[in-house]
Amino acid sequence: MAAETESGLPFEPVYDPTALADWDATSQLAEPGEYPFTRGVYPSMYTGRPWTMRQYAGFGTAQESNQRYKQLLAAGTMGLSVAFDLPTQMGYDSDHPLAHGEVGKVGVAIDSIDDMRVLFDGIPLDEVTTSMTINSPAAILLLLYQLVAEEQGISPDKLGGTIQNDVLKEYIARGTYIYPPAQSLRLITDIFTYCRAEIPTWNTISISGYHMAEAGATPVQEVAFTLANGIEYVRAAVESGQDVDDFAPRLAFFFVSRTSIIEEVAKFRAARRMWARIMKERFGANDPKSWMLRFHTQTAGVQLTAQQPEVNLVRVAIQGLAAVLGGTQSLHTNSFDEAIALPTEKAARLALRTQQVLAYETDVTKTVDPFAGSYVVESLTDEIETAAMALIDQVEEMGGAVAGIEEGFQKSEIEKSAYRVTQQIDSGERVVVGVNKYTVEGDEHYDPLKVDPSIESEQIARLTKLKADRDNAEVLRLLQVIRDTAAGDGNLLYPMRDALKARATVGEVSDALRDVWGTYQPKDAF
């Protein structure tokens, strides 16, 4: 059987100069930091400084997560990356019936400005950048962050970081959506406008392929569907009256990095080149910063195994190396125990140390784009670009990413790929070390991190106290202003900020929008 890449492209046993016989290095490569950015978005890349090292963390209460952040900063992490619990991601307070059993489980529970104060207590928000993995309620968490920073005496124009804010991929692969697509896009474009005026150095969206890849998307599908979503966001912002060069420089992306090093390097290089051409040629952007695809990478959680979990340290090192060779701007390396439970402190520290070894003990930071000119990498970069552009064109012919989502196209394509991989693992065609080959009888005992179930009652008690202490009449008035604005066409972030400052909760603000917009029901929900 002929070898194939993860995307099903042919993988030749030998690549030679004939693979690039008709290849134009000038147009395809250029210099690092120059259009179309195949070789990287900055001229010096890591030769001047390494990528930003982040560790995705958050669990239990705000106080517990605050302690973990301080441990990570002390260990040398360069930026924070906040994981929120499922109720927060869905816009529910900890006392909502649907939150029962999920409070603090997969991330930190944030119900109000009171929790946000505790989460960042003692952390100077003008000295760190913070990435927040939050989508439908992204505006709410960003505003809480801004309010807490202002309480610290920090001007919003000194804040740096990113909100994921990519709701389209939620409809495709993850499911933590709240509102229908059109209303979600309105909220996102309101964030673009608000941040340009109020938090100008904030990255307003991280358009994510990671979750689609975790759901089963191939590298080609990951790039294609991510950039198709990016096109939809840019189009929506332009149609709302914004100039493309006013918001495009603050767009960011988020990709996975798998163990298949060669294809992953080619994927990252192709994605940069494609986005540069899309922004320049399709949207007429003139600012070179608008052409740049700057991205964060996370190693592939879906490839981690509960069997022989220490082997995950090797997988993560390889995945991290692929991201670095591909030119990522920031990186999170998964902890080896994440297939079992939330990471322990030791596991999180080891994951960070993996990045530090790559940065300071290898030579991959000494030169820019070390695989440039490689027969196999350049060939695969071209092939991935061609295949991904064909898939983007298919989505555009349907009417764009939203139309494709409503038809279930992206979701269906990803599910087919996931099924193919499952079949390959089950048959043994695809080897997973420790799972279907090189297994052992019984693994060593591992003591995972456990979240205290009493956290839920503690959060509910905090909410009860908050509602007793605040001016509830004023909160109700401000929530009505949000509803009125949602029914009109004003920017929603200003009334939302006022309500949150008055100690309205995440759930109450989300509910105010639900009252006007309703919730999204996918076609296959019944």
DSSP 8-state secondary structure symbol assigned to residue 437: B
pLDDT the model gives residue 525: 43
Q: 31-46 burial, b if ≥16 CB within 10 A, otherwise e?
A: ebbbbbbbbbbbeebb
Q: And the tokens for 228?
A: 């198709």
* Sheet of 52-57, strand order: 202-203, 160-163, 129-133, 79-83, 52-57, 330-332, 295-299, 251-257, 205-208
Give dist(CA 285, CA 289) in Å, integer. 9
- Which single residue is written with the structure tokens 């008690």? 461
CB 57 within 8 A of CB 372: no
Beta pairing partners, 10: 4
Domain assignments of the chain as residue spans, ordered by start: 43-427, 470-519
Identity of residue 87:
P
Amino acid at the residue 359: A
Task: Return contacts of 388-391, CB within 8 angstroms, 24+ apart.
Answer: 388/220, 388/223, 388/224, 388/227, 388/270, 388/271, 388/274, 389/224, 389/274, 391/220, 391/221, 391/224, 391/225, 391/228
What is the longest distance spanned by two Cα atoms in the chain? 75
Mean pLDDT per block of 10 residues along the chain (526 residues) reads 88 89 81 96 96 89 94 90 96 97 94 98 95 97 98 96 97 94 96 97 96 97 98 97 96 97 98 98 98 97 95 98 98 94 90 97 97 94 97 98 95 96 96 95 73 89 97 98 98 98 98 97 64
φ and ψ of 292, to 5 deg: -80, 130
Query: Phi first, then psi: what are they for 132, rounded to 5°?
Result: -120, 120
Contact status, residue 479 vs residue 504, Cβ threshold 8 Å:
yes
Show the CA angle centred on residue 115, arms to residues 121 and 515, nearest 5°: 145
Q: Residue 178, SS3? A: coil
So what's the pLDDT on residue 397?
98
Rounded-to-10 torsion of CA 206, 211, 212, 216:
160
Residue 4, SS3 per DSSP: strand
Terminal-to-terminal C-alpha distance of the chain: 41
Residues in the chain: 526
- Contacts of 281-284 with C-beta under 8 Å, sequence gap 24+, read 282/231, 283/234, 283/238, 283/244, 283/248, 284/244
Q: For residue 202, list its beta bridge partners.
A: 161
Residue with tokens 């975790």: 214
**Residue 95: phi, psi to the nearest 5?**
-95, 5
Could you tell me the sign of the dihedral formed by the alpha carbons of 62, 68, 74, 80, in that order?
A: negative
* CA dihedral sign of residues 121, 126, 128, 132: positive
Of the candidates 484, 516, 518, 487, the residue with the CA atom closest to the CA atom of residue 499: 484
Level-2 CATH architecture, domain 43-427: Alpha-Beta Barrel (3.20)
